[in-house]
A and B are shown apart, each in its own frame.
Chain A
Amino acid sequence: MKREIPLFLTAVIGAVMVLGFFMPHPWISVPADFLQQSAVIVVAFGYVLGGANLLRVHLEAISRRERDWPYRIVLVAGLLGTVSVGLFVDGPGFQAQGARTMWIYNNIYAPMNATMFSLLAFFIASAAFRAFRIRTIEAGLLAVAALVVMLGRVPLGDFLARPLTDHAWVPAWLREAPLGTIQQWIMDVPQNAAKRAILIGAAMGVMATGLRVILGIERAYLGGGE
């Protein structure tokens, strides 16, 4: 029964959700709507569970003085500090301008989050110099497409390429934004074709997996190593 009940619930809920997409009849749409609302509540509980799990894992690691334990103290202090300020100091108005939580958000969270993303520019430059090696024809094609798209996306690329295309024999539609036009073609045609193939393939995989879960063939989500 420990396995049968979850399998039964999954099959019923999965079937109702799939039917709800196609059938507006109240017998299907009402339970489907209820399940949608339940899903939102379950996800919200997931945050509580996630927070508790994070605390458990890191407090255990700190007590055992595992590797990088001082950083874990910062993490736990950050979590507890922010939650405490939001719950006990600001209360329901924790998102109002001037609230202490907003000070934490504006002066700690936002700059740190933006910094992490900004670092990409430096690492991409380093990786471009050291790791992007053209050893095969495919890698060469990739490099040419990457260079055209990268330069065609910015005004300086067209500015630099314009002297090469500023001739009477070059078609007028190519003259104003030579690299921009070529990069748009790369994005619209070869990129789009490949992306569509990946999307369709992935969607079929998701459908097959969903069907396997609903029919009880796929049971890995239940755990237990089966």
Chain B
Amino acid sequence: MNWRSLEKLDRRWLFLAMALLVAGPLLWPVGLPIVVSSPVQRFHDAIAAVPDGSPVLVPCDFDPGSRPELIPMMKTVLRQLFDKKCRPIVTCLWPGGPALVDQTLESVADEYRARGVPLESGVDYLDLGYKSGNEAVMVLMGQGIARAFPRDLRGRETRSLPILRDVGDYSSIPLLVSISGGYPGTKEWVQQVNARFHLPMVSGCTAVSAPEYYPYLQSGQLRGLLGGMAGAAEYEKLRGEKGSATRGMDAQSLAHVFIALCIVLGNVVQWRRGTGGRS
């Protein structure tokens, strides 16, 4: 093998290889078998254990940068909740996210409406939209959801909405499902809401932030965890769905193997150069 040419490899070849390895499986999926891990099983079971018809708080704190990882899990969460006749109450503490979150919520509600399930905004689900203040908003919601969000995303007075008729503060909500892309997100919901108001929580987050939440998972403060697209794909498998996370796992698989090869090859080239120099 010509190691010298590898030493001087133009990084654009790496970019091209990565692009092909990601695009290929997206166009022609292979369908590799997915094994469900324990944190994902626990995430699914925690939502399944919520009494049917309950209001469930779903803070979706992300923006379009996290779309491929978090939108699939958000959709599956909403489907699981709607199947149980639960009433998701969605918020977003990221200024770049509310429109994307609302589009996703409405697209899932439209799926159900197309199947003849008459879901209505403000009755069966609610999008409270964005509010600035990060942790302060989380604590403020402990005094009353409608107090922290006097109007929803559509400008309606939240106190008059049927969905909030039996919802005061966190004590009337059995579960919080945090879909988190970073700060503010799962960590802050654990610290400000789980720790203070003892509201049970599960989290779906980006792969890069998942390791940060493992201590909360082990301590029981998080009852389940979906880490990135892999977690979303496992969750889709549990729910019997073949969504975009499942389709994306082939591409992510090849990208991971390629990066692993890059690490190994880069070091082999380095060692070859080192031993060549000594000889």
Report the bound CA distance from A191 to B39 in whole Å: 15
| Chain A residues, Cβ within 8 Å of B266 | 128-133
Report the bound CA distance from A140 to B18 in whole Å: 25
Closest partner residue, chain A, to B211 (CB atom): A191
Contact with A along B4-26 (1 / 0, CB 8 A): 00000101001101110010000
Report the bound CA distance from A110 to B65 in whole Å: 8
Within 8 A of B (CB), among A141-196: 143, 146-147, 150-151, 153-160, 176-177, 180, 184, 187-188, 191-192, 195-196
Q: Are B132 and A113 in contact (CB under 8 A)?
A: no
| Chain A residues, Cβ within 8 Å of B255 | 121, 125
Answer yes or no: B200 CB below 8 A from chain A CBs.
no
Q: Are A33 and B143 in contact (CB under 8 A)?
A: yes
Q: Are B211 and A147 in contact (CB under 8 A)?
A: no
Which of B67, B132, B265 is the one whose CB lies under 8 Å from A47? B132
Report the bound CA distance from A154 to B32 in whole Å: 9
Identify which of B98-106, B118-126, B170-178 touches chain A.
Answer: B98-106
Report the bound CA distance from A117 to B182 in whole Å: 13
Main secondary structure of the interface of A (DSSP, over half): helix
Q: Are B34 and A147 in contact (CB under 8 A)?
A: no
Tell me how far the C-beta of B6 lies from the nearest C-beta in chain A, rounded to whole angstroms. 9
**Assuming A21-B196, A114-B67, A128-B259, is B132 touching A44 (CB within 8 A)?**
yes
Tell me how far the C-beta of A136 lies from the nearest C-beta in chain B, rounded to whole angstroms. 12
Q: Are A113 and B96 in contact (CB under 8 A)?
A: yes
17 contacts between A and B (CB under 8 A): A36-B140, A40-B137, A40-B140, A44-B132, A93-B155, A96-B154, A97-B103, A110-B64, A129-B11, A129-B266, A134-B267, A143-B267, A151-B256, A154-B32, A154-B249, A154-B253, A176-B35
Q: Are B256 and A116 in contact (CB under 8 A)?
A: no
Q: Are A43 and B136 in contact (CB under 8 A)?
A: yes
Q: Are A39 and B133 in contact (CB under 8 A)?
A: yes
Tell me how far the C-beta of A108 lies from the nearest C-beta in chain B, rounded to whole angstroms. 11
Answer yes or no: A95 CB below 8 A from chain B CBs.
yes
Identify which of B48-56, B76-84, B160-168, B212-220 touches chain A.
Answer: B212-220
| Chain A residues, Cβ within 8 Å of B136 | 36, 39-40, 43
